[in-house]
Amino acid sequence: MRVLVHAYPWDVIGDPLFTARMQALGDVGVNLASAYHTVRAATPWHPDHAYMDARHAALYRPLRREAWDGRRLVPGTPAWMRDADPFGTAARTLADAGVPVTAWIVLTHNSRLGEAHPDVSVVNCFGQHYPWALCPSRAEVREYAATLAAEAVRDVPLAGALLEACGQLGADHGGHHDKTDGAYDARARRMLSVCCCEACQAGWAAAGVDPVRTVREVRAAVRSREHDLDQATAAAVLAVRHQAADALRHQVIEALPPGLRISLHAGPDPWATGANPGLGPQAGKDVDAVVVQCWPTGQESADRVRITRHMLPEQVTVGAYVTALPPVRQEDMAPHVRRLAEAGAQEVHLYHAGLAGPARHGLLAEAASTAASL
């Protein structure tokens, strides 16, 4: 199995031992964040700091005027880093040491832009905007994402690009100090993740579904288990979402250099939103790999891999996204990786080289050595 390990630019820059730790894991590549959302990240390995506070979503490359002039949606810059090109510096450091680098690009998860421009954000059935979620039904969002991806990989030696949030985000994966756990069940959260913005409603109308009635029905389904969308309405809502995700993905891929290996964070549930949006009928046909989140170490993750394998063309690789962070235990890691391989996973993506400090690094090593033996 191929092995890739996730990392942030600040994990590499200023830590002279980072590259050696990656090389010690064996023949691994690094998924390095080049455009990322707001995060407060622990840096237990770093000699100079204990945390990195990335206060808003940012492109970790120089912001070139010729790429962004005249646009309303422009990515932020990482003022919390001294380096003018954090991703470029970190990527070249790894590539010079023989460690292949994949650009890890987060596309539609951007609270800074969603707050500044609520008209391009996802809107729920109560008319509330989700500022963390840019809606891919908007042509302006798709154009922004394509430019972001092109700028993220420009003039850097790369083995590939990994696309996260390449589709619609929803009710989950949202705000700071979130106080929503347990308030809504999975069915209600699914309905609260249906985007009801003008662009999505126009898509429903084009599909022959009354937007006003649909919004009313989605809202009723949130409030009562006795209500649900009828089959035709649900199919239209889902089709419009997947068509927007397809258009976003196509535009992003066209903006990337030809020949670059493209991987997509996604999941087998067609209704899923978020960092790993659900696969639609066309998703996966234009990428080289689909990476499925497999953080739970039980049978559930193996089932997700198996279902995804059956949904994709044979030539598309299935990757298993595995965490080394709590509550995963050292003794669970090797059996977990083996189950995923038996279910059809052909590569493993490990989370996370910077967050998994000295006390957790052994789990990364266990996963990498197990995968290498399969």
pTM of whole model > 0.75?
A: yes
233 pLDDT above the threshold of 80: yes
Question: In the structure, what pLDDT confidence band is assigned to residue 192 with cuts at 50, 70 and 90?
Answer: very high
Task: Report helix, strand or coil for 205.
Answer: helix
Pairing of the two strands 28-36 and 2-7? parallel
Q: Give the model's pLDDT for residue 173.
A: 66
> For residue 351, what are its two tokens?
């989370």
How many whole angstroms separate alpha carbon 74 and alpha carbon 148? 9
Peptide bond preceding 349 in cis form (omega within 30 of 0): no
Dihedral sign, Cα of residue 39, residue 46, residue 19, residue 352? negative
Q: What's the mean pLDDT when you consider all of the chain?
A: 95
State pLDDT tens for residues 257-297: 999 999 999 999 999 999 999 999 988 889 999 999 999 99
Rg of the chain in Å (alpha carbons): 20
Q: 330-343 and 299-311 are packed helices; what angle lies between their axes, rounded to 10 degrees?
A: 20
User: DSSP letters of 227-252?
Assistant: ----HHHHHHHHHHHHHHHHHHHHHH
Whole-number Å distance between alpha carbons of 78 and 85: 9
Are 240 and 137 in contact, with CB atoms under 8 Å apart?
yes
Report the share of the chain in percent with pLDDT over 70.
98
Per-residue pLDDT tens digits for 53-81: 999 999 999 999 999 999 999 999 999 99
Helix or strand run (H / E) with residue 82:
none
Cβ-based neighbours of 255, under 8 Å, separated by 6 or more: 146, 147, 149, 150
Average pLDDT over residues 100-123: 97
Q: What is the pLDDT of residues 158-190, one digit of tens each?
A: 999 999 999 999 998 665 556 566 778 899 999
What is residue 283's predicted lDDT score, i.e. its pLDDT? Answer: 82
> Does 197 score more than 90 pLDDT?
yes
CB 338 within 8 A of CB 332: no
Strand intervals (E) in the chain: 2-7, 28-36, 39-42, 51-54, 58-59, 101-106, 121-123, 129-134, 160-164, 261-265, 289-293, 317-323, 347-351
Read off the pLDDT of residues 11-28 as tens digits, 9 standing for 90 and up.
999 999 999 999 999 999
> Looking at residue 4, what is its pLDDT?
98
Q: Are strands 39-42 and 51-54 parallel, antiparallel or unpaired?
A: antiparallel
Q: pLDDT of 198-226, one tens digit each? A: 999 999 999 999 999 999 999 999 998 87
Predicted confidence (pLDDT) at residue 143 exceeds the cutoff of 60: yes
State whether residue 332 is helix, strand or coil: helix
